[in-house]
Amino acid sequence: MISKIDHIGILVDDIETNRELFELLGLGVGNVEHVPAFGVDIAFIRVGESLIELVEPVDRDSGLAATLDATQQSALIHHVAFRVDDIETELQHLRDAGVPLADEESRPGAGDACVAFLDRRAGNGVRIELVERETDVVFG
C-alpha cells in the first residue's frame, strides 16, 4: 500500500552546483551518498514530509548521463517515488496485474531503502519508483 510520496528525483549534472538554489530557498541539502547499485551519487533535501533527491550520474557513459546530455540541461525531473509498506508484495501485485517492471526484484537504494522501478510504459512515460524504508531519512 502506498503511504505517501517518498521523493521526487531530479537528475543533475553536478550535485554541488545544483545545491546552491535549494540552500538559497532555505532548504537543507543532506550529505552526498554513493549508491553503487545505480552508479550515482545522491543528496536528499527535506521538504515537509517528502524529499527531493538530487541524482548525479558517476559514470559519464551511463544511460542516466546520456538522458541528461540529450536534454542539454543541467537538471531535469527524473522520477516520482512512492513509499510502500512492503515492496515485495507490491511488486508481486503489479506483476500479477501485468504491469511492466524495470526491476523484477528490489535492490538497495539511498537512505537505507529497498527500491524498484516500474517500466516507463507502466506510467505512460512517467518513471515511477517504489521505496520501502524502515525510517525516514535523517539529516545532520
| 21: in domain | yes
Please write the tens of the pLDDT for every residue from 1-53. 899 999 999 999 999 999 999 999 999 999 999 998 888 999 999 998 899 99
> How many domains in the chain?
1
In a domain, residue 138? The reply is no
Distance CA 62, CA 55 (A): 13
Of the candidates 80, 84, 82, 83, the residue with the CA atom closest to the CA atom of residue 124? 80
Three-class SS state of 39: coil
The whole-number pLDDT of residue 58 equals: 92
Query: In degrees, to the nearest 5, what angle opens at C-alpha 128 toward C-alphas 8 and 57?
Result: 60
User: CA torsion sign, 108 to 112 to 113 to 117?
Assistant: negative
CATH number, domain containing residue 121: 3.10.180.10
102 part of a folded domain? yes
Q: Which helix (H) or strand (E) holds 124?
A: none
Q: Is pLDDT above 60 for 100?
A: yes
Q: What is the mean pLDDT of the chain?
A: 92
Q: Are 12 and 5 in contact (CB under 8 A)?
A: no
140 lies in some domain: no
Question: Does residue 137 sit within a domain?
Answer: no
The grid coordinates of residue 66 equal 546520456
The residue range of the domain holding 106 is 2-132
For residue 106, being part of any structural domain is answered with yes
Give the pTM.
Answer: 0.90
pLDDT at 140: 57
pLDDT tens for each residue of 44-75: 999 988 999 999 999 877 888 888 888 888 89
